[in-house]
Structure 1
Amino acid sequence: MRTTEHLEDEIDAGSTASVYAAGALCWRVKKKKLEVLLIHRQRYDDWSWPKGKLDKGETLPECAVREVFEEVGLPITLGIPLPSIRYAVKPGVKEVHYWASSADDMPAIADGKEVDSVIWCSPNKARGLLSNPSDVEPLDALVAAYESESLSTWPLLIVRHAKAKPRAAWTRAEGERPLAATGKRQALYLQRLLMSWHPGRIYTSGWMRCISTISPYAQATKAKVKVVSWLTEADHKRHPAKVEAVVEKLLTRNSATALCTHRPVLPTVLATLAKRMPRDMADSLPLHDPHLAPGEVLLVHVSLADPGRIVALEQHKPFED
């Protein structure tokens, strides 16, 4: 299974693409047969996947969710990442990032502006209809995931708390050290980013900088927040096995969940996750200190068919001033 790391990094690093876009391959199973959603755009007279260009300040996951809703009216949640594609356009090179998204029986309706028709069809029919040959690559990955029972997943999001005030500048209790101004902006950024996966429950350290990091999202969505003392730096140092047990328990869930903790706790979290994934995927984990930057997210996709088995990874950079 493909791993996706630092999608936004590719933009920041000044890659050769001049246009970035994102979208989703919506899928469902009808009468035990896999079907995918194609759209027809009258402007180009082509068949493609729902997608669109990145708005200023928008993350790739946000863009994918927004574009699918605007074009076909589906309020999707992102599933596993699929291969991105690149092709020539007038400004230069366009790079499109895709995710799979289970649509179940939700109706898809063309917006009547960019899209004049939608169709659910088999992957084989989709291959024949797709106008851009490169659009077949994410389709092949989706079919392979379906056949290996790795397509139906739920997300576990590991969040390092946002940037806090420096330790040296704080004289009160360590657990009360608050977010810096940049950290507060990162928390608001995380509120938007996490909407792409809709975690309904958040497990967090009880220290102020973790609580403040997840508060904007929790307040906006009414997600349930559970404070876990073992996720603090101090309790982890005394009982790291307790953190391992927390992560192991989370992996038995089957609904979108987030965990917010501190840099010194991350090695235990990552080591526990590594046991539930193939070796090559484990090697791509951020194993070197600092593991994740303040406000950064590591997302693991956990199989529904094989509980606890991790089938895909992605990382998302924090907001930076």
Structure 2
Amino acid sequence: MRNTEHLEENLDESTDVSIFAAGALCWRVKKRKLEVLLIHRQRYDDWSWPKGKLDKGETLAECAVREVFEEVGLPITLGIPLPSIRYAVKPGMKQVHYWASSVDDLPPMPDGKEVDVAIWCSPNKARGLLSNPSDLEPLEALTAAHEAGTLETWPLLIIRHAKAKPRSAWTLAEGERPLAATGKRQALYLQRLLMSWHPGRINTSGWMRCISTISPYAQATKAKVKLVPWLTEADHKRNPAKVAATIEKLLTRTNATAVCTHRPVLPTILATLAEHMSPAMGATLPLTDPHLSPGEVLIAHVSIAEPGRIVALEQHKPYED
């Protein structure tokens, strides 16, 4: 059996890449057969995946969702990350990041500006139509995941709270320490980023800096927020097993969920997640302190066919002033 587990890195900011773009391989299963969505662009007379360049200040995930909606009219939620591709263009090297995205049976609707045709087709037909040979790599990863039963997943998002005011500058109760100005901007950035996975539930520490981190997203989406005492620094220190049990319970579900907590709690969460993935994937977890930066997100994609099994990981860096 082919190995379909995928590890996604943060945005590659290497100097040889001059253009960043993002898109998605939309997929569905009709009569037990996998179909993917291809678009034809009249300007270039080519067949490709829905994709486009990042707008200023936009995250890769936001870009992928936006481009699919603008080009074919499909609102999507991102699934497992797929291999990114690079190829040369006139301004230099272009890097395109892709995700898989399961969609309903809605017919694609080309925008008529850039895209004149959008079709559902088999992976084999897509291989024959794709104009850029590089676009075959994410397709092969998607079909391999389908064959292995790891394409259909739900996301568990682990969030370290945004940047807070320094402990040394705070004299009141630790649970009331608020976000710094940068942290407030990180929380707004997270609001936009999380929209790409639409977690409908948020389990969070009840301390102020965690609540403030997830509040913009929760208010914008009406996501259900649950205060979990064990996710605070103090309660975790007294009984880390409660945190492990919380994560274990979440992994038995199938709905997109976010967890917001503190740096000292992360080792317990990461150790629990590691038990649900291959050793090779576990070795890629951010196991060294600080594990995640303030406002950073780790996403574990959990198999629906095999409840509790994590089949892909990705990390998203926080907003930085």
Shorter-chain TM range is over 0.9
Matches within 5 A, 1:136-151: 136-151=136-151
Give the distance between the partners of 2:96 and 2:294, measured in 1 at CA. Answer: 27
Is the CA contact 1:27–1:36 (under 8 Å) kept in the aligned structure 2? yes
Give the distance between the partners of 1:199 and 1:136, measured in 2 at CA. Answer: 30
List per-residue Cα deviations over 1:182-209 (Å, max 9, x = no partner): 0000000000000000000000000000
TM-score (norm 2): 0.98
Q: Secondary structure at the match of 2:175?
A: helix
* Cross-structure match for 1:74: 74
Mind listing any 5+ residue stretches in structure 1 that lack a counterpart? none
Is the CA contact 1:78–1:100 (under 8 Å) kept in the aligned structure 2? yes
Give the distance between the partners of 2:26 and 2:48, measured in 1 at CA. Answer: 12
Does residue 164 of the first structure (1) align with residue 161 of the second (2)? no
Deviation of the 1:17 alpha carbon: 1.0
Letter aligned with residue 19 of structure 1: I
Give the distance between the partners of 1:92 and 1:169, measured in 2 at CA. Answer: 46
Letter aligned with residue 124 of structure 1: N
Q: Secondary structure at the match of 1:193?
A: helix
* Cross-structure match for 1:272: 272
Give the distance between the partners of 2:211 and 2:164, measured in 1 at CA. Answer: 12
Deviation of the 1:108 alpha carbon: 1.2
Give the distance between the partners of 2:248 and 2:161, measured in 1 at CA. Answer: 21
* Cross-structure match for 1:200: 200
Give the distance between the partners of 1:40 and 1:96, measured in 2 at CA. Answer: 17
Give the distance between the partners of 2:15 and 2:133, measured in 1 at CA. Answer: 22
Give the distance between the partners of 2:202 and 2:19, measured in 1 at CA. Answer: 35
Letter aligned with residue 219 of structure 1: Q
* Cross-structure match for 2:8: 4
Deviation of the 1:40 alpha carbon: 0.3
Q: Secondary structure at the match of 2:8?
A: coil
* Cross-structure match for 1:108: 108
Give the distance between the partners of 2:292 and 2:222, measured in 1 at CA. Answer: 26
Letter aligned with residue 146 of structure 2: Y
What is the number of residues matched between the two proteins? 317
Deviation of the 1:177 alpha carbon: 0.3
Letter aligned with residue 42 of structure 2: Q
Letter aligned with residue 73 of structure 1: G
C-alpha RMSD of the superposition? 0.6
Is the CA contact 1:29–1:104 (under 8 Å) kept in the aligned structure 2? no
Deviation of the 1:230 alpha carbon: 0.3
Give the distance between the partners of 1:6 and 1:92, measured in 2 at CA. Answer: 21
Does residue 299 of the first structure (1) align with residue 266 of the second (2)? no
* Cross-structure match for 1:243: 243
Deviation of the 1:309 alpha carbon: 0.2
Does residue 281 of the first structure (1) align with residue 281 of the second (2)? yes
Q: Secondary structure at the match of 1:291?
A: coil
Give the distance between the partners of 2:208 and 2:36, measured in 1 at CA. Answer: 44
Give the distance between the partners of 1:58 and 1:40, measured in 2 at CA. Answer: 25
* Cross-structure match for 2:183: 183
Give the distance between the partners of 1:197 and 1:99, measured in 2 at CA. Answer: 11
* Cross-structure match for 2:225: 225
Is the CA contact 1:79–1:153 (under 8 Å) kept in the aligned structure 2? yes
Deviation of the 1:5 alpha carbon: 2.2
Deviation of the 1:68 alpha carbon: 0.3
Mind listing any 5+ residue stretches in structure 2 that lack a counterpart? none
Give the distance between the partners of 2:65 and 2:111, measured in 1 at CA. Answer: 15
Letter aligned with residue 163 of structure 2: K
Give the distance between the partners of 2:104 and 2:182, measured in 1 at CA. Answer: 39
List per-residue Cα deviations over 1:287-306 (Å, max 9, x = no partner): 00000000000000000000
Give the distance between the partners of 1:109 and 1:255, measured in 2 at CA. Answer: 28
Letter aligned with residue 181 of structure 2: A
Is the CA contact 1:68–1:75 (under 8 Å) kept in the aligned structure 2? yes
List per-residue Cα deviations over 1:83-116 (Å, max 9, x = no partner): 0111111101111000000012122100000000
Give the distance between the partners of 1:194 and 1:15, measured in 2 at CA. Answer: 28
TM-score (norm 1): 0.98
Is the CA contact 1:24–1:99 (under 8 Å) kept in the aligned structure 2? yes
Give the distance between the partners of 2:106 and 2:100, measured in 1 at CA. Answer: 15
Deviation of the 1:216 alpha carbon: 0.1
Is the CA contact 1:50–1:67 (under 8 Å) kept in the aligned structure 2? yes
Give the distance between the partners of 1:33 and 1:175, measured in 2 at CA. Answer: 52
Q: Secondary structure at the match of 2:149?
A: coil
Give the distance between the partners of 1:106 and 1:280, measured in 2 at CA. Answer: 38
Q: Secondary structure at the match of 1:84?
A: strand
Q: Which runs of 4+ in 1 moved over 3 A?
A: none
Give the distance between the partners of 2:104 and 2:319, measured in 1 at CA. Answer: 33
